[in-house]
Amino acid sequence: MNTDNALLTVSNLVKHFDISGGLLEQLSWENWRIVRRKTTVKAVNDVSFTIMPGEILGRRKRMRQIDPGPSGAGSISARQR
């Protein structure tokens, strides 16, 4: 793919979040020593993409669809697009 006219190019994107809490919440005793434990969530790890003119980047979401059903009254149901 020729990326010379790309609108956006992202290479090796990494985003991690520290959800350990405060300093005192991270401390614990282990083998008679105080140990600091961190908890990290890896939201995105090594993601690369290119957006070319005319392309759209989006995420999938649940859509609501009205189903008329046999009675014709209509009910709303969720479906994965």
Q: Which residue has the higher pLDDT, 68 or 30?
A: 30
Q: What angle do CA 20, 46, 19 make, to 5 degrees?
A: 10
Q: Which residue has the higher pLDDT, 56 or 70?
A: 56
How far apart CA 30 and CA 28 sit, in angstroms, is 7
**Res. 12: pLDDT tops 90:** yes
The size of the chain, in residues, is: 81
Average pLDDT over residues 28-43: 91
Average pLDDT over residues 63-76: 56
The answer, as to whether pTM is greater than 0.85, is no
- Confidence tier at 1 by pLDDT (50, 70, 90): low
Domain spans of the chain, in order of start? 1-54
